[in-house]
Amino acid sequence: MGKYILKRVAMAVLTIYLVSTITFFLMNLVPGGPFLAEKAVSPQAQAAMEEKYGLDKPLSVQYKNYMLGLVKGDLGLSVKQRGRTVAQIIATKFPVSARLGGLSILTAVCVGIPLGSIAAFNRGKWADNVVIFIATCGIAVPSFVICTLLLMLFGLKLGWLPTVGLNSVLHYIMPVTALAFYPTAYIARLMRSSMLDVLGQDYMRTARAKGLGQFKCIFKHALRNAVLPVVTYLGPLLAYTLTGSFVVEKIFTIPGLGSEFVGSITGRDYPLIMGTTIFLAVLIVSMNVIVDIAYKLIDPRIKLK
Amino acid sequence: MSEQNKKFPTFQLNVDDFLPADEAEKESLVTMRASVGFWKDGFQRLLKNRVAIVSFVVILIVMIFSFIVPSFYPYSYEHQIRGAENLAPMQYSDGELEQIAAGESVFPHILGTDHLGRDFAVRVMMGSRISLLVGLIASGLILLIGSIYGSVAGFFGGWVDIIMMRIVDIIYTVPDILIIILLAVTLKYPLQNLAEQPGFGWIAAVGVNLTSIFIVFALLYWVGMARIVRSQILQLKEQEYVTAARALGASSGRIIRKHLLTNCIGTLIVTTTLQIPSAIFTESFLSFLGIGVAVPMPSLGSLANDALNGLQSYPYRLLAPALLISIIILSFNLLGDGLRDAFDPKMKE
């Protein structure tokens, strides 16, 4: 077990190192550095600026400095938002996105698992067909389509829900629905097939044969086993939610990390792009490691290598 | 055997059993059905799958509308018609009404025009052309790189396999969307420089942003394909015909090309088809964020993004690209599922 965890963590660290190195050198491919968009700056001011951000030094020194800073949690200064460090921006914006993302993941799990299970219990009946239909469509519709359709219908045509920001509970309904749509459909599909698999197993027949009630059969024997594939999906789900938040936060003008990231791309705020990328990469990679380890802990049938 | 023989088993032979077989009996002993080749068998299964056929027809229709129709459509995607800005579907501008009054025939703007006076129907068609192109070319690249990489790793095995698959593992854990966005943002400038060099004019023709999207797909998305191909090759290379081919002096490259890859063609087809919708998905996502294809070229994602600004007054401008992209992705997904049922040997009962 310890060896496995060590191996996974080492791989994760290597991945994060590679991502930050790739990010650093990609950013330096851009000619003129971060001040490209700055108009009509005198050479002196340009030099002063470059000195301030450490851009006058050779690339290898810059790389070393950035990596050393990274280890200490220093992601550098934002170019566009004067006087604020990237770490500060992430610290203020991330909680908003985390709340939104967390609620969406919760919704997806709480809706997707029952939907998939109901479909499996009623295999071939109308309930199953409805769930299959929803799941198939849900996987095919991009998040920005869901977002804009919701916005159009409930925000503008019917006027039931507020369209901008995140000030009240009502504000959360549309963004969370939009963000949870795809994962719900995916989890429902996953859950349906794994539940069907479990229901056909011998231990289910044994459970029924020894006289266990329907409730105990389902919750104690079927659900516990069938939910395992969903656990493995949690890692990719987090990645999806984070990238999905780029679109959702942009459309509903939510001041989270996603809209900040998109803004930093269009505004060419390179330190912020870099910082956010590395931050999100660390988040996703470490989540994947945790999920993998948790999965092996939950399911004793899987041999640790 | 007669009733009597059953009751009293004897060693006496029944003469009837040794009579020459008649025609009907001979017929019944012939193989039950003609031997069916891989392709014929697969296509027969596919034809029985109504959902897959319908999706295939839908894809064909979308392709006709996006690749053929714009070439003879009376409007072009970048042509701005003066005085015809923001027309509703089937509405004519004042100038066009005068033309009609003068007896000229004017083709209607089926989906209206956008804020610059460009016919929206043809823009949607061009947008789906871009989306389909991205899907098809990206999947082709993924197929090429993934199958070569996977088959080399699987075939040679040993430390070659270990090193190659460790690299795949690392790329697999890299959060792809983040790197895609990063590459899409940063590759623009070097590509622009490269496009000015002689011999690289095609980059400008394809479009810098589109090229960087292809590079990104080529760099990151082949790993899934490589894993699948490798696991197939690992099973196939133990087969006798590989030993036979080797004994006959075939080189490794020839064995991979002629024997191994042709034998996992079913898996290759299915995986490639299922890559197409995911590539389209990613491209529309990037275009929606404003880092996909460059103006004035439309893509379904960027059309939806443009529509956001005038959502209150022109909701149909969102509906057309949004519906179309969902239909395209859905059809490819369903066709891929159908192909998997038809061609994947593991799915056969």
Smallest Cβ–Cβ distance between A26 and the set B182, B289, B290 belongs to B182
Contact A152 B315 (CB under 8 A): yes
- Rounded to a whole number of angstroms, the distance from the CA of B306 to the nearest CA of chain A is 12
Contact A11 B329 (CB under 8 A): no
The residue length of chain A stands at: 305
Q: Which residue of A has its CA nearest to B334?
A: A136
The CATH number of the domain holding residue A138 is 1.10.3720.10
Contact B277 A140 (CB under 8 A): yes
- Rounded to a whole number of angstroms, the distance from the CA of A248 to the nearest CA of chain B is 11
Residue A16's pLDDT is 86
Contact B301 A281 (CB under 8 A): no
Residue A304's pLDDT is 47
Question: Among residues 88-147 of chain B, which lie with CB inside 8 Å of chain A?
Answer: none
Residue A252 within any structural domain of the chain: yes
Give the best residue of B289, B295, B325 to mutate against chain A (max A CB count within 10 A). Answer: B289
Distance of CA B336 to the CA centre of its chain: 8
Contact B330 A136 (CB under 8 A): yes
Residue A27 within any structural domain of the chain: no
Cα–Cα distance measured from residue B239 to residue B244, given in angstroms and rounded to the nearest whole number = 9
Tell me whether the omega of the peptide bond preceding residue A300 falls within 30 degrees of 0, making it cis.
no
Residue B1's pLDDT is 45
Q: Provide, as residue numbers in chain B, all residues whose Cβ is less than 8 Å from the Cβ of A151.
A: 311
Q: Provide, as residue numbers in chain B, all residues whose Cβ is less than 8 Å from the Cβ of A261.
A: 181
pLDDT tens per residue across span B68-124: 887 777 777 777 776 666 677 767 776 777 777 777 776 777 777 777 777 788 888
Contact A285 B175 (CB under 8 A): yes
Cα–Cα distance measured from residue B110 to residue B121, given in angstroms and rounded to the nearest whole number = 6
Residue A153 within any structural domain of the chain: yes
Instruction: State the virtual CA torsion across B216, B153, A284, A254 in degrees, nearest 10.
Output: 20
Cα–Cα distance measured from residue B109 to residue B320, given in angstroms and rounded to the nearest whole number = 14
Contact B311 A285 (CB under 8 A): no
Structure tokens at A65: 């400095």
Higher pLDDT, A44 or A221: A221
The number of C-alpha atoms within 13 Å of A11 and in the hemisphere containing its C-beta is 22
The DSSP 8-state label assigned to residue B259 in this structure reads: I
pLDDT tens per residue across span A244-298: 888 888 888 888 888 888 888 777 777 888 888 888 888 888 888 888 888 777 7
* Number of independent structural domains in chain A: 1
Higher pLDDT, B347 or A92: A92
Smallest Cβ–Cβ distance between B333 and the set A11, A27, A140 belongs to A140
Cα–Cα distance measured from residue B218 to residue B282, given in angstroms and rounded to the nearest whole number = 13
Beta-carbon contacts of B83 under 8 Å, excluding residues fewer than 6 positions away, are: B93, B94, B95, B117
Residue A165 within any structural domain of the chain: yes
Contact A19 B174 (CB under 8 A): yes
Query: At residue B291, what are phi and psi to the nearest 5 degrees?
Result: -125, 20
pTM across the whole model: 0.78
Residue A305's pLDDT is 41
Structure tokens at B68: 């053929």
- Rounded to a whole number of angstroms, the distance from the CA of B190 to the nearest CA of chain A is 7
Q: How many CB atoms lie within 10 A of CB A162?
A: 17
Q: Where are the alpha helices (DSSP H) in chain B?
A: 3-7, 23-29, 38-48, 50-63, 69-72, 94-101, 120-156, 158-173, 176-186, 188-196, 201-206, 208-220, 222-236, 240-247, 252-254, 262-263, 265-289, 300-309, 316-343
Contact B322 A145 (CB under 8 A): yes
Beta-carbon contacts of A260 under 8 Å, excluding residues fewer than 6 positions away, are: A89, A93, A272, A276
Cα–Cα distance measured from residue A143 to residue A101, given in angstroms and rounded to the nearest whole number = 14
Residue B117, phi-psi category: left (phi > 0), alpha (psi -120 to 50), beta (remainder): left
Residue A45 within any structural domain of the chain: no
Q: Provide, as residue numbers in chain A, all residues whose Cβ is less than 8 Å from the Cβ of B178.
A: 19, 243, 277, 280-281, 284
Q: Provide, as residue numbers in chain A, all residues whose Cβ is less than 8 Å from the Cβ of B301.
A: 142, 144
Contact A137 B330 (CB under 8 A): yes
Q: Are B156 and B165 in contact (CB under 8 A)?
A: no
Helix (H) or strand (E) holding A224: helix A223-226
Smallest Cβ–Cβ distance between B175 and the set A139, A262, A280 belongs to A280
Question: Among residues 150-189 of chain B, which lie with CB inside 8 Å of chain A?
Answer: 169-170, 173-175, 177-179, 181-183, 185-187, 189
Contact B175 A139 (CB under 8 A): no
Question: In which residue ranges of chain B is pLDDT below 70?
Answer: 1-10, 31-34, 82-86, 90, 94, 106, 201, 205, 294-295, 344-349
Q: How many CB atoms lie within 10 A of CB B334?
A: 22
Q: How many CB atoms lie within 10 A of CB B132?
A: 22
Q: Which residue of A has its CA nearest to B301?
A: A144
> B252 and chain A: CB distance < 8 Å anywhere?
no
- Rounded to a whole number of angstroms, the distance from the CA of A247 to the nearest CA of chain B is 7
Q: Are B21 and B321 in contact (CB under 8 A)?
A: no
Q: Which of A100-109, A205-214, A295-304 has the highest mean predicted lDDT (pLDDT)?
A: A100-109
Structure tokens at B162: 């270990």
- Rounded to a whole number of angstroms, the distance from the CA of A54 to the nearest CA of chain B is 20
The DSSP 8-state label assigned to residue B120 in this structure reads: H
Residue A302's pLDDT is 61
Contact B170 A247 (CB under 8 A): no
Residue A9 within any structural domain of the chain: no
Residue A108's pLDDT is 92
Q: Which residue of B has its CA nearest to A22?
A: B179
Is the ipTM reported for this complex over the cut 0.85? no
Smallest Cβ–Cβ distance between A18 and the set B170, B304, B322 belongs to B170
Q: Which domain holds residue A139?
A: 98-259
Contact A144 B183 (CB under 8 A): no
Residue A168 within any structural domain of the chain: yes
Is the model's pLDDT at A34 over the cut of 70? no
Contact A19 B329 (CB under 8 A): no
Q: Provide, as residue numbers in chain B, all residues whose Cβ is less than 8 Å from the Cβ of A277.
A: 178-179, 181-182
- Rounded to a whole number of angstroms, the distance from the CA of A151 to the nearest CA of chain B is 9
Question: Among residues 310-339 of chain B, which lie with CB inside 8 Å of chain A?
Answer: 311-312, 315, 318, 322, 325-326, 329-330, 333-334
Q: Are A298 and A231 in contact (CB under 8 A)?
A: yes
Question: Among residues 293-312 of chain B, which lie with CB inside 8 Å of chain A?
Answer: 301, 304-305, 307-308, 311-312
Residue A293 within any structural domain of the chain: no
Q: Provide, as residue numbers in chain A, all residues whose Cβ is less than 8 Å from the Cβ of B181.
A: 261, 265, 277
Query: B295: which strand partners?
Result: none
Contact A30 B186 (CB under 8 A): yes
Render B262-307 in DSSP notation, one character per residue: HHTHHHHHHHHHHHHHHHHHHHHHHHHHT-SSPTTS--HHHHHHHH
- Burial class of residue B83, CB neighbours in 10 A (0-12, 13-18, 19+): exposed
